[in-house]
Amino acid sequence: MSPSIAASQPSTAGLSRALVTLLAFCCGAIVANIYYAQPIVGLIAPDLGLSAEHASLIVSLTQLGYALGLLLLVPLADLVENRRLMVATAVLACISLVLAGTSSNGQGGLFLGYALLIGFSSVSVQMLIPLAAHLAPEQQRGRVVGNIMGGLLLGILLARPLASVVADHFGWRTVFVGAAGIMLAIILLLALTLPRRVPEHKASYAQLMASLAGLLRRYPVLRQRSLYQALMFAAFSLYWTAVPMALSGEHGLSQSQIALFALVGAVGAIAAPLAGRLADAGYARRGSLLALVLAPLALLLGLSAPGFTVIGLALSGVLLDFAVQMNMVIGQREVYALDPASRGRLNALYMTSIFVGGAAGSALASPLYEQLGWHGVALVGATLPLLALGIFVLRSRRG
């Protein structure tokens, strides 16, 4: 039987390496659900009767659903026993994936609804991370969160090549049915191994939701970190939704070749544990500055002829992934430190803002690429982290 812990009593013994690895795997496998469609919208859209300019809505609505789940479901982690809540959301994700994988030709509207539901029900990952932060002692928290975020971000990055390869050989529907099978395994793992966490909050759900506005007002760090990462993730989502279109349309790559391209981007996941260690060592501000400078430079590479080659685009992807992940982990650690008793709600606000930015970036991808080509994607993409950098520098000068 799994142990039970009280919400207000963080662990002093730390987390075992095996449990950290398990949590990292679960986070990666769950979050992958919202990225499987990203490289294969070009296959899904015509099959379901969606136009080329509307293809990126599949990704955008999945991310919007995720943002809604973060806002409406994740705060329940401060109210409801955590393991039961995570298992319930994972079951809903499994059902949503089955529905998406069994969609018939021409059912574009229905599929968009399933995409929204897949995103909405894949938020248990953002309940796992605060739980791990609660279990880890203070001196190890950045490293533990960084390692688990590394698993999450590997899931994001590996979902794309996996989806491309499976879709190329077995069809895009197999991607979603296979993901449902993975979720069944995750449900069993969570139910059997995850410690129970019983929050001590006695407020109603309505009071809990009303408290979100109070947290935003109370913590400037939360507002600032949410804005920085929303802009960074908008650029990230814009790039990774548009680049498969450029690779297939202008470079003639197959889905399997696009999978290899996406796999290269997974190199950027090394930023997550590195960022956690930098934050633990007191270098959070310098790490964020590095990330905010690197992201626009990565996207501006695509404006040059060498930068628009397959190798140049891959380099842009690696650098962008590295920057986005580094800034996310550093920001997450700072947000978690604000109020241990409210980590579920703080995480919900932080991640909701990020995925609203991601949904906006994904929605821009198809129309930008169709109307302005890759130069338009690169310019708009670079502008977003540059805006975050400008705000960061101004805030730093004001102390």
CB-based contacts of 226: which residues, under 8 Å, 6+ apart? 331, 349, 350, 353, 354
Which of 339, 344, 338 lies closest to 81 in space, CA to CA? 344
CB-based contacts of 223: which residues, under 8 Å, 6+ apart? 216
Bridge partner list, 6: 198
Average pLDDT over residues 252-258: 88
Average pLDDT over residues 282-301: 90
Rounded CA-CA distance 201/215 in Å is 15
Q: Which residue has the higher pLDDT, 147 or 138?
A: 147
pLDDT value at residue 272:
64
Q: Is the pLDDT of residue 297 over 50?
A: yes
pLDDT, tens digit, for every residue of 362-388? 999 989 998 999 999 999 999 999 999
Which of 81, 68, 253, 97 lies closest to 186 in space, CA to CA? 97
Rounded CA-CA distance 158/152 in Å is 10
Look at residue 335 and give its three-state secondary structure.
helix
Distances (CA, A) of 262 to 41, 44, 241, 249: 15, 18, 11, 16
Domain membership of residue 78 (yes or no) is yes
Q: For the chain, what is the total number of helices (H) and then of strands (E)? A: 15, 2
Bridge partner list, 196: 4
Domain membership of residue 383 (yes or no) is yes
Which two three-digit tokens encode residue 83? Answer: 């393991």
Place of tokens 């633990």: 280
Domain membership of residue 1 (yes or no) is no
pLDDT, tens digit, for every residue of 55-85? 888 999 999 999 999 889 888 887 888 889 9
CB 175 within 8 A of CB 36: yes
Rounded CA-CA distance 71/88 in Å is 17
Domain membership of residue 235 (yes or no) is yes
pLDDT value at residue 3:
53
The CA radius of gyration of the chain, in Å to the nearest whole number, is 20
Domain membership of residue 6 (yes or no) is no
Residue 251 belongs to domain with CATH number? 1.20.1250.20
**Tally of structural domains, the chain:** 1
Domain membership of residue 3 (yes or no) is no
Domain membership of residue 118 (yes or no) is yes
Give the residue numbers spanning the domain of 256: 15-397
pLDDT value at residue 140:
74
CB 186 within 8 A of CB 78: no
Domain membership of residue 191 (yes or no) is yes
